[in-house]
Structure 1
Amino acid sequence: MPAPTDDILSVLRQHWGHKAFRPGQEEIIRSVLAGHDTLALLPTGGGKSVCFQVPTLAHDGLCLVISPLIALMKDQVENLRKRGIKAEAVYAGMSHRDIDQTLDNCVYGPVKFLYVSPERLLTEMFRARVGKMKVQLIAVDEAHCLSQWGYDFRPPYLQISALRELLPGVPVLALTATATEEVRRDIGQKLNFGPTGQIFQRSFQRPNLSYSVLHTEDKLQRLLQVLKGVGPGKTAVVYARTRKQTEQAAAWLQQNGLSAAAYHAGLAADQRTRVQQDWTNDKTRIVVATNAFGMGIDKPDVRCVVHLDAPDSLEAYYQEAGRAGRDELYAFAVLLWAPNDAHEMRRRVALGHPPIDVVRRVYQALANYSGTAVGGGELVAFDFDLQQFASTYRLKPIDAHNAMRVLEKAGLVQLNEAVFSPAKVHIPLDVRDLYRFQVANERHDQLIKAILRLYGGEVFSSFQNVSEGALSQQLRWSTSDVRKTLEYLHKAGIVQYQPRHEDPQALFTTPRHDASKLPLDAKALETARERDLQKTEAVIQYTNGMRCRQQLLLEYFGELDSKPCRICDHCLAEKRRQQKAVVATDLREQVLAQLRTAPRTPRELLAGFQPNQADALTALLRDLVDTGVLRYTDAGQLIATA
């Protein structure tokens, strides 16, 4: 039974403090509550998560949220918990016991949201539990990952249709910020949308966002000019392709007096957190980052997003540029373009699709690196350092990276950037058994009491995030002693302890294959290469386009009847050209009118106009003489010929 509008508004007010829904949100929520399969296309910052969170909170039951981004999952779970809403997540890198406990909480506890990475959907453990959960909605975030025609296709997403068979009658809400018409159609087919399936799409137009492509041979100098031109103290994001570029650009901006910091996955977790918080709280005005920065961060007052290098697709560019101006005030999206950039983009596409024999070699090296036997290793995460891996097996880092990406897109492996996971503790004993142990072990008793004092009785029911540093302060022990004692208690079966973790990881998403029999489809790989090249050419066309930038973007997404935006670099240049033409026409008429009354020297003509018109007037007189409209008399005066 659909919830009345007043009810969903009260949920919005209670948990988010908003007085009204953003455009499009209420219609999407009403469709979900009516039981319709729904595809929602909302621009970056359009409030997609509210579209599944509000209807879930308006009714009994749990929402299963499928997302490919571990960092974003963890952020959303943490944000929901801060609002007093029970939420859990299951993703690569968690222990078997932790996953087991989390799924039990979703079956028997008051959990409202379970976030799951797509490769976990059809594991035996998940299949056995999901049917026992009271699932009322399946939300598919980043739904463009379902389509091979999209820019970020992920094969594990195709398992969602099989999940629907386990949850008959449960509606699906698919969400994305970017999808062409072909991708939209593919999403509906892959998710087995029912006959009443609905699509809600807001225009991709951003009336407040001025798009520009600035051609330059010195990107750092041009970047400095752009950021200074936007205004001192304005919040900005600068996207760079590599970690080294982020650090170089941030240092350059700092040297030139701007408040800037670098952000990338190679930084320690606490440093990344500090950079993000300083930027969010306006202590740092400019973050120079790789493209993962900004996902899930709702900072509305970003006045400028600059790309030092173009992303590989217009979908990615639209999403990243769209992080500017979410407050609907005037903002800038600037792409810096150098003479060699088109060649470099095409070269990256070629490198990004290495020969199959290279891919097989990298797959075998990965099996050796992780110590995984044929038939084993499915969904078992292991720490993965690309540079160390490439050096160990005498691979070029670029070949190793690109081969891993091919394997990932083929659904054979998964790479996870460094994501900080705090230490976790769960006490599996009942209170009486724990008490007996505490009485017999005084030193361990101190640590157990500190855990209970800081983190409460919930450690008996599920894993809880703990801080070894906070425990060391409480006990006046060293952090090393806290960790050693927790490890001892773990081995003794008194607590279940998972140390903090922040290294990149990899895993096999299927049982490990014999590399010589790796199921790679050569034709599909060639199709993928051609598709990536087409997307690259669309970006290059955008940079060279002699038309409104926003129109070019909208046409790419299927909006063919849009009008010029009037605020992009092309529209502003056209406006200046037209204004200049009007001024030139007016100046010409004034000159001819004066000369029809009497001949005049150029100096006499100039004396009759404003000083700031001198250059334009001199150029006009030269042009009129060259075209025969005016001629000089023997006395050096100008007269009209007609």
Structure 2
Amino acid sequence: MQDYYNKAESNLKKFWGFDAFRPGQDVVVKSVFDGNETLVLFPTGGGKSLCYQVPATVFEGMTLVISPLVALMQDQVQALKAKGVSATFINSTIPSYEVEQRLVNARNGMYKLLYCAPERLKTTLWEAELPKLNIDLVAIDEAHCVSEWGHDFRPSYREIRTSLESIADETRWIALTATATPEVQKDIVESLGFEKPNVISRGFSRPNLKWWVVKSEKKKQKLEESVKKGAEKGDGLIYGGTRKNCEHLAERFSRLGIKTEAYHAGVEPEKRKAIQQRWITGETPLVAATNAFGMGIDKPDCRYVIHEEMPYSLEAYYQEAGRAGRDGDESFPILLYRGSDYIKADERLDQSYPTLDELNHAYQILCDSFHLAVGSEMQESRSFDVEQIKKRGKLSYGKAMSSMRLLDQFGIIAMQQEVKPAVGIQFTLGSSGLKTFREKCNNDEKAEFTDKLERMFGSMAFHNIIQLDEDYVLDKLGLRRNTLVKALNVLMQNDQILVFEMHKERTLVKVLEARSRKLPFTKKEVESHRNNLFRKLEQMHGYVLTETCREVYLRNYFGDTSAKPCGHCDNCLRSESDKTSVPASEEIEMIYELLKQEQHSVEELCHLSELGKNKVVQAVQYLIKEEKATTNPSKPGFYVLI
């Protein structure tokens, strides 16, 4: 094991340029080398990926990484290749012949890491290739997707162990997540069949973050005040909800002298990259974004993150707000809240969640739009337009999109949003004809360009249109987009040796199983998922309403019951400043006795004890600090004895 670890430290320096692992990472890596079933609970930005990527470079065989995030797996593979680590991915967005080729390459030992979407494990191709693959480690990223209690449940995750049963006892296992409550952790362990898991947590304490909730009916005014104060500390980020609002906020704060840019799915991909880079370097000090912003973006010195609207879960809030202060310096996650926000969020969730009948209707319309007959299977992913589902199904935009997301989560379809621009080419000549064209071509530059295209797009481009990532093509050819389009137009219209397509960013969808007359799940399953979303929203609301330490509330929610009042969130500072409200020992005893009988909210404790609100809050804070009481995340705003 020590030899493995020494090699891991050497590779950490060689490929990533780091002299040593972060605290916690070293423990995880050693656990993996020891052959322990390992569950990793690290906060956002805690360096989870290195916990399996570095061991992957040490093992003789391959590491299989299960991930539900297609865009993220593509980015990680690209980053690994840039560092000199061999890696690839297979998912529903690449043609079946390319999947087959990559699996053959994997069988031949060409990759150290193979990223795979969970639904791929159920295909006949995967089942045929699995016995031939030398897999030394299975890494399950975003492991909270295993649990029906998680905020991003995916049923296909629950079948991972079954799909890999033939190698389960011969390989190492690691599961990783940034957001897992105790019930989710338990569900992960049971679903993955971990018998004696080594659970390694860096805890959910972020002592440099000053958690703050601003309750006001004048949110615009409070937002402006918060940004002006935040700008004095450094760069920041506003989660603005809708695309339209992000554009409005960018314009508004730029007029006030704080350069701000809007980031959302409607912005062109190249422009989005440029916005990210300007924010990371500090050229743009503030970004107003939808929740699409943040994945894979690392800016250590973000000093404040403001949520103008309340997120739908504490998991989402903790991840997004946690983008502040990754360098360890004082930073401010701020949530703006007005009284009607919870009611609006509850109504929005209710109105956008489909019934089983509506879900089935959306599925049938989707299959019709792809001209997919009952019993037929889709071979490749195709572009998808939500407007078709909306109009033909007579559904609202919100309900149509929710239907697609649910079908994706339940493993009925694979949906990839914001697919990067692509170039599609098919040669209209055969291989020998193309060779003759090059030989007779009087333009050496054109002949060389055609040769590069043939090598890049491969032999299958003589039979079908083959699509490749636009950035990849431009990089390999060393051309700008306009130059490439002009050159391809000449080859298509003048020389007539190929046809081509330029695809903008789009959403791709693939129906994963043969079309059926009815969806394979029950009304109870659909309603159970719906109820869980409402429960998550209620717990998020509880964070807003709590009158005691916000860090305690968050850490209790994620299972850290040892948390004590932080002393620097808005609630702690408010109670500290009110010196006259410090409760006497008999008042603390009175609150203790009331909680001994049953759990209560602050309002109930005020009524039962006839004490003022400040004294009740102080007493509850004292009991939390002394580890005698805690929040009850399953019943927001209530407190129980430990």
Report the TM-score when normalising by structure 1: 0.82
CA offset at residue 47 of structure 1?
0.2
Query: Residues 307-361 of structure 1: CA distance to partner in whole angstroms, max 9, x if unpaired?
Result: 1111111111111111111111111111111110110122133224322222222
Q: Deviations over 1:553-591 (max 9, x none)?
A: 11111111211111111111122223x779xxxxxxxxx
Q: Which SS does the other structure have where 1:334 is aligned? A: strand
The structure-2 alpha-carbon separation of the partners of 1:107 and 1:549, relative to structure 1 and needing over 3 Å to count, comes to: same
1:363 CA displacement: 1.7
1:113-146 deviations in Å (ceiling 9; x for gaps): 1111222222122222333222211111100001
Q: In structure 2, what is the equivalent of residue 612 of structure 1?
A: none
Q: Distance in 1 between matches of 2:151 and 2:110?
A: 37
**Cα separation, partners in 2 of 1:474 and 1:334, compared to 1, 3 Å:** closer
SS at match of 1:450: helix
Any residues of structure 2 matched to 1:292-331 within 5 Å, and which?
Answer: 292-331=292-331
- Which residue is equivalent to 1:509? 512
Q: CA deviation at 1:159?
A: 2.8
Show the counterpart of 2:220: 220
1:350-409 Cα distance to aligned partner (Å, 9 max, x none): 224322222222222212222221122347322122235423554322221222233333
Identity percentage over the alignment?
Answer: 36
Q: Which moved more, 1:41-50 or 1:354-363?
A: 354-363
Give the Cα–Cα distance (whole angstroms) in 1 for the partners of residues 449 and 94 of structure 2. 25
Q: Residue 434 of structure 1: CA displacement?
A: 7.1
Give the match for residue 401 of structure 2. 401
Q: Is the 8 A contact 1:551 1:565 kept in 2?
A: yes
1:377 matched to 2:377? The reply is yes
Using a 3 Å threshold, how does the CA distance of structure 1 residues 377 and 52 change in structure 2: closer, same or farther? same
What is the deviation of 1:474? 6.0
Structure 2's unaligned 5+ residue stretches are 461-465, 583-642
- CA gap 1:476/1:566 in 2 versus in 1, 3 angstroms: closer
- The yes-or-no answer on 1:353 pairing with 2:353 is yes
Amino acid of the structure 1 residue aligned with 2:64 = L
Quick check: 430-439 or 177-186, which moved more?
A: 430-439
Shift of 1:16: 1.4
**Which residue identity is paired with 1:562?**
A
Return the alpha-carbon distance in structure 1 between the equivalents of residues 405 and 53 of structure 2.
32
Classify 1:379/1:465 alpha carbon distance in 2 versus 1 (closer, same or farther; 3 Å): closer
d(CA) in 1 for partners of 2:430 and 2:28? 46
SS of structure 2 residue aligned to 1:407: helix
Partner residue of 2:254? 254
Q: Is the 8 A contact 2:474 2:481 kept in 1?
A: no
Mapping 1:145-544, distance limit 5 Å = 145-168=145-168, 169-193=170-194, 195-232=195-232, 234-378=234-378, 380-423=380-423, 438-440=438-440, 446-447=445-446, 449-450=448-449, 478-484=483-489, 500-514=503-517, 517-544=518-545
- Which residue pairs with 1:35 in the alignment? 35
Question: Which region of structure 1 is more displaced relative to structure 2, 344-353 or 68-77?
Answer: 344-353
Name the residue aligned to 2:640: none
1:477 Cα deviation after fit? 8.7
Superposition deviation, residue 304 in structure 1: 0.9
Q: Take 1:271 and 1:73, find their aligned partners in 2: how far apart are those partners?
A: 21
* Paired amino acid for 2:353: H
Give the aligned partner of residue 567 of structure 2: 566
The answer on 1:5 being equivalent to 2:10 is no
User: Could you tell me whether the CA contact under 8 Å between 1:455 and 1:466 is conserved in 2?
Assistant: no
Q: Distance in 1 between matches of 2:480 and 2:235?
A: 42
Cα 1:457–1:525 change in 2 (3 A) is closer
Contact 1:80 1:86 in 2 (8 A): yes
State how far apart, in whole Å, the 2-side matches of 1:70 and 1:408 are: 12
In structure 1, the gaps of 5 or more residues are: 583-642
Q: What CA deviation, in whole Å up to 9, does each residue of 1:410-463 have, x standing for no partner?
A: 332233211214437899x999997556314556x7445237679988979999
Q: Find the counterpart in structure 2 of residue 545 from structure 1.
A: 546
Q: Structure 2: which amino acid aligns with 1:149?
A: W
Equivalent residues of 2:474, 2:480 under 8 A apart: no
Whole-angstrom CA distance in 2 between matches of 1:490 and 1:551: 70
The verdict on how the C-alpha distance between 1:152 and 1:33 changes in structure 2, with shifts beyond 3 A counting, is same
Deviations 1:515-567 (A, max 9, x none): xx322311222222222221111111110100000000111111112111111
Within-5 A mapping of 1:95-174: 95-168=95-168, 169-174=170-175
Cα distance, 1:529–1:31 mapped onto 2, change above 3 Å: same
Rg comparison, structure with higher value: 1
Pair 1:518–1:501, CA change in 2 (3 A): same
Matched, 1:556 2:557: yes
Closer, same or farther in 2 for the Cα pair 1:448/1:23, shift >3 Å? farther
For 1:217, what is the secondary structure of its paired residue? Answer: coil
Q: 1:262·1:288 contact (CA, 8 Å) conserved in 2?
A: yes
Give, as a single letter, the amino acid of the residue that structure 1 aligns with 2:516: H
Residues 211 and 550, structure 1, Cα contact 8 Å, conserved in 2: yes
Q: Distance in 2 between matches of 1:310 and 1:159?
A: 33
- Rounded Cα–Cα distance in structure 2 between residues aligned with 1:410 and 1:235: 39
| Cα contact 2:230–2:236 (8 A) shared by 1 | no
Paired residue total: 574
**Matched residue SS, 1:121:** helix
RMSD: 3.3
Corresponding residue SS for 2:292: coil
Letter in 2 for 1:503: R
Report the CA distance shift for 1:160/1:486 in structure 2 as closer, same or farther (over 3 A). farther
Q: Distance in 2 between matches of 1:11 and 1:489?
A: 52
| Matches of 1:379 and 1:153, distance apart in 2 | 26
Q: Structure 1 483/431 Cα, relative in aligned 2: closer, same or farther at 3 Å?
A: closer
Is the CA contact 1:235–1:301 (under 8 Å) kept in the aligned structure 2? yes
Cα–Cα, structure 1 residues 115 and 472, in superposed 2: closer, same or farther, change >3 Å?
closer
**How many angstroms apart in 1 are the aligned matches of 2:510 and 2:470?**
26
CA distance in 2, matches of 1:485, 1:62: 44
Match of 2:92 in 1: 92
Contact 1:424-1:466 within 8 A present in 2 as well: no
Bigger mean CA deviation after superposition, 106-115 or 559-568:
106-115
Amino acid in the other structure paired with 2:550: R
Q: Within 2, Cα distance between the matches of 1:477 and 1:20?
A: 45
* Structure 1: distance between partners of 2:206 and 2:482: 55
Task: Give CA deviations for 1:464-502 in whole Å, capped at 9, x if unaligned.
Answer: 75656678986999533433467799997x99x885552
Q: Report what 1:590 is aligned to.
A: none
- In the aligned structure 2, how far is the partner of 1:442 from the partner of 1:388? 49
Cα distance in structure 1, aligned partners of 2:206 and 2:409:
31
Q: Give deviations 1:206-244, integer Å, cap 9, x for gaps.
A: 111111111122333322211211234722121132222
Q: Which moved more, 1:220-229 or 1:465-474?
A: 465-474
Q: Secondary structure at the match of 1:504?
A: strand
Range with bigger deviation, 34-43 or 372-381: 372-381
- Note the C-alpha offset of 1:272: 1.5
**Aligned residue type for 2:556:** E
Check whether the contact 1:235–1:302 (CA below 8 A) recurs between aligned residues.
yes
1:25 CA drift (Å): 0.5
* Partner Cα distance (1:455, 1:301) in 2: 45
Aligned partners of 2:114 and 2:544: how far apart in 1? 41
